[in-house]
Amino acid sequence: MRIVIVGAGAVGTYLAERLSLEGQDVVIIESTQARVAELQSKLDVMVVYGNGSSPITLAEAQVEKAELLIAVSDNDGANVLACHLAHEMGVPRTVARVEDPGLRDGLSKLGVDVVIEPRENAAQEVIDLIRGGGVSEIIEFGNGGLVLLGGRVGNDAPLVNHKLSELREQYGNGEWILAAVVRGSETMVVRGERTPILPGDHALIMTLKGSEQTALDLMGLEVHQIRRVLVAGSNRLSSLTAHMLVEDGFDVVIIEDEVDRCRRMSEEHPKALVIQGDPTDPEVLEDLDIDEKDAIVAMSGRDERNILACLLAKAMGASEAIMAVNRQSYVHILDKIEVDAMVSSRQAAANAILQFVRRGRVHSVVTFSDSDAEVIELEVIPRSDAVGMRLDELGLLGGAIIGGINRGSRCLVPTGATEIEPRDRLIVFALPEAIRAVEELFSE
């Protein structure tokens, strides 16, 4: 599939890198000459220098051959115009990043099929994590009937040194499935009893709604009821997050060391307490009397600063620390330090866009910051060869597992004996090398 990406900022570059590694035919349009040279040396993609909202540049990128155009520059108007022109030039699907809510209505008439704002998605992810009180992922599928929980396995967790067959008998068979484990930079899809679970592993468990506590117990996680959230940093992401937290009923404290930004945040968030200070200064945090009912969300533009703010808050008693990660190189060290979860605008964008890249009737795609695995929610078409087959007859590669099924009004965690029915919505965990086989198996 040819995919044209307009704008090579953090989101555009991340998407280009991920999609090119899958073997997609990716073209990037970038208006900064120095950035073009950097991308050409770093990625195996075609890079076109120019204005992505110019018909001449789009023609140079051979946009008429593309199946998808993704406009994710930092200019809302340019993104909308790029999609409009691409639509006029025959591109069947377009996605535009639009930050201004006032510009989003009626864009379908201009040839924009999908509008995304990754920072809004990332902010919502923070809210879900705060509600979860200690997990690194909490994602619903099947209209809420299935819940994916992720977390770091504790030293004395039942998952450690126990066979999964024994744990199913003790913790309820048919209510949960351990789908995958991330250890450092390696992701393992769990099939049978062959994958030993170690303390510190990042476990991903799919469970039926109402059985979330079982998954938490298996990982050895203790849930904390958060009352107050410290938001460190002043930017669009932190502002969106603070607004959502206030609306959700949390006590919110915004910490920012620049006076002008403090004034602006105070005007934008009158129900929050805004403090001028450095969130990496122990004295500033000590004055807040942090305890186990507190969480910190560090969202400055610098990963080092976010890490330090999280470490200090945890050392002073905060029960949960979440940070916005800007550089992918930091992701794989976070399992070794006291940071409970991370959010990323790049990852949020990937989640919103990848469903348009996948073949078949895909309803959603979830990616992970520390893994190249995906969770794909796809619908089984009636003519699929998989209809009527048991899961243990499908011949899925070792890099894929079906973690849940949404069947009409009913959700289930399947076993090997579960048969595939037409219109089933399958929740599939898949490593990159297995994605194409999964698409082919359940589509026409």
Tens of pLDDT, residue by residue over 326-359, are 887 777 777 678 889 999 888 888 888 888 888 7
Does the pLDDT at position 362 exceed 90?
Answer: no
Residues making up the chain, counted from first to last: 444
243: domain range? 225-318
| Closest to 126 (Cα-Cα) out of 344, 417, 355 | 344
The pLDDT-based confidence of 111 (bands split at 50, 70, 90) is very high
Single residue among 318, 337, 371 that ends a domain in this structure:
318
Quote the pLDDT of residue 326.
83
Q: In what order do the strands lie in the sheet with 2-6?
A: 46-49, 25-30, 2-6, 68-71, 93-97, 114-116
Mean pLDDT to the nearest integer, 269-282: 96
Tens of pLDDT, residue by residue over 413-438, are 999 999 999 999 999 999 988 988 89
Quote the pLDDT of residue 358.
82
Residues 311 and 383 in one domain: no
Does the pLDDT at position 444 exceed 70?
Answer: no
| Closest to 368 (Cα-Cα) out of 436, 432, 437 | 432
| Closest to 49 (Cα-Cα) out of 21, 27, 71, 17 | 27
Residue type, 139: I
Report DSSP letters for 360-420, one per residue: SEEEEEEEETTEEEEEEEEEPPTT-TTTT-BGGGS---TTEEEEEEEETTEEE---TTPBP
- Count of beta carbons in the 10 Å neighbourhood of residue 395: 9
State the total domains in the chain: 3
Quote the pLDDT of residue 62.
96
274: in domain: yes
Quote the pLDDT of residue 28.
98
Residues 8 and 91 in one domain: yes
148: in domain: no
177: in domain: no
Tokens 């195996």, residue located: 44
Quote the pLDDT of residue 393.
93
133: in domain: no
Mean pLDDT of the chain: 92
159: in domain: no
Window from 56-65, 240-249, 426-435 with minimum mean pLDDT: 426-435
Of 134 and 96, more confident: 96
150: in domain: no
Tens of pLDDT, residue by residue over 12-53, are 998 998 888 888 999 999 999 999 999 999 999 999 999 999
> Do 91 and 328 contact (CB within 8 A), yes or no?
no
45: in domain: yes
The CATH number for 55's domain is 3.40.50.720
Tens of pLDDT, residue by residue over 75-109, are 999 999 999 999 999 999 999 999 888 888 889 99
**Residue 392 main-chain phi, psi, to 5 deg:** -75, 0
Quote the pLDDT of residue 335.
67
Residues 299 and 358 in one domain: no
Mean pLDDT to the nearest integer, 253-265: 96
Residues 22 and 92 in one domain: yes
Mean pLDDT to the nearest integer, 369-395: 91
Quote the pLDDT of residue 398.
80
Quote the pLDDT of residue 301.
87
Does the pLDDT at position 194 exceed 80?
Answer: no
The pLDDT-based confidence of 192 (bands split at 50, 70, 90) is confident
**Residue 351 main-chain phi, psi, to 5 deg:** -60, -40
171: in domain: no
Residues 9 and 78 in one domain: yes
**Residue 264 main-chain phi, psi, to 5 deg:** -65, -45
